[in-house]
Amino acid sequence: MAGYHGRFAWYELITTDMAAASAFYAKVIGWGVQDQSRPDLAYTLFCSGTTPVSGLMDLPAEARNMGATARWVGYVSVDDLGATTDRLRQLGGKVFVPPTDSNIGRISVVADPQNATLALVEGLRAGQHKPPESNKPGRVGWHELLATDHAKAFTFYHELFDWQKAGADSGSTTTYQAVRVGDDAIAGMFDKRPMDPVPFWLFYFNIGDIDAAVDRVEAAGGQVFEGPIELPGGGLIARCRDPQGAAFALQGRRGQEAIARAPSSEVGWSTEWGGISSRGRLVVNKPRQNPETDTGSDSED
């Protein structure tokens, strides 16, 4: 994608049950699907209206045997894939899949020095002919890195993609670092909590009524284990896990019914709680089961 170097441009859900995952996200976010399979690869596009927003593919058996779990992966667009992977290695990152041609373009699957997985893409052709519109419903509206050391992580991404700081929000001992490309804030970074065993990238999907959306997550077999959390400006976020175990997040607003009952159910929270935002309130709090304390559940890696 020319002129889009260093920005997230595509997303894929790599899962253990494509049919079940397709049904889940259709119910929760309202995505439609387009089959883009070929003889050697089952592949589905998730679409918001007629616009492809992400891909869906099966987690290979060999990866499962090595302990890999369902996950969302974000692709960063680069102008020169070979040069970028070489630079990534020099900066201490890992290359799991070297540059190779794929159904969506020339790609490489990599990890930063703290082992957070992401992917790189040159010449994206998965229906994305312009930058994703991150403010629209059904799109990925925000990206967050839960890092072992977010300051060191920022240095790595600055050197690799020329990401810049977009100000820091340090309401307490938890520091949240926003980053930008040009004039556009594209992501945030903060230190993961001890209960998160590995660093990972978390992707936020835009929805309308967040209370209705978290109800849909649970009704469809997923888990909502943090939130909704109210942010400055009135937006709310919730951190979730789909039935196959892939972590994702939602961001939206309150519905009218929830607004009417909110004053009786709001509680204050410290910025250390949950680690998802640097400040806010936990609102209309339903009991949530934390997957890190649930037997047999895995965190994203």
What pLDDT, on the 0 to 100 scale, is given for residue 188?
A: 95
What pLDDT, on the 0 to 100 scale, is given for residue 195?
A: 82
CATH class of 8-122: alpha beta
Task: Give the integer Cα–Cα distance in Å for 10 and 76.
Answer: 7
Query: DSSP 3-state assignment of 281?
Result: strand
- Provide the token pair at 74: 């974000």
Q: 10-residue block means of pLDDT along the chain (301 residues)?
A: 80 96 97 92 92 93 85 96 98 96 94 96 71 76 96 97 78 73 92 88 95 96 92 88 96 69 35 31 38 39 42
Q: Where are the domains of the chain?
A: 8-122, 140-293
β strands within 123-257, DSSP E: 140-147, 164-169, 176-181, 184-191, 200-209, 223-230, 236-241, 247-253
Closest CA to 258 of 294, 211, 221: 211
Query: DSSP 3-state assignment of 144?
Result: strand
What pLDDT, on the 0 to 100 scale, is given for residue 297?
A: 37
For the beta sheet containing 117-122, the strands, ordered from the edge strand earlier in sequence to the opposite edge, are 32-35, 43-48, 51-58, 8-15, 71-77, 117-122, 106-111, 94-101
Question: What pTM value is reported for the model?
Answer: 0.82
Closest CA to 91 of 118, 119, 114, 65: 114
Angle (CA) 38 46 234, round 5°: 160
143 touches 202 (CB < 8 A):
yes
Task: Give the integer Cα–Cα distance in Å for 54 and 71.
Answer: 13
CATH architecture of 140-293: Roll (3.10)
Task: Give the integer Cα–Cα distance in Å for 216 and 25.
Answer: 10
Q: Any residues with CB less than 8 A from the CB of 226 and at least 6 apart, and which?
A: 238, 239, 274, 276, 288
Kindly tell me the sign of the dihedral angle through the C-alpha atoms of 96, 222, 51, 253: negative
- Provide the token pair at 98: 């070297």
Query: DSSP 3-state assignment of 160?
Result: helix
Domains 8-122 and 140-293 share a fold: yes
What pLDDT, on the 0 to 100 scale, is given for residue 173?
A: 46
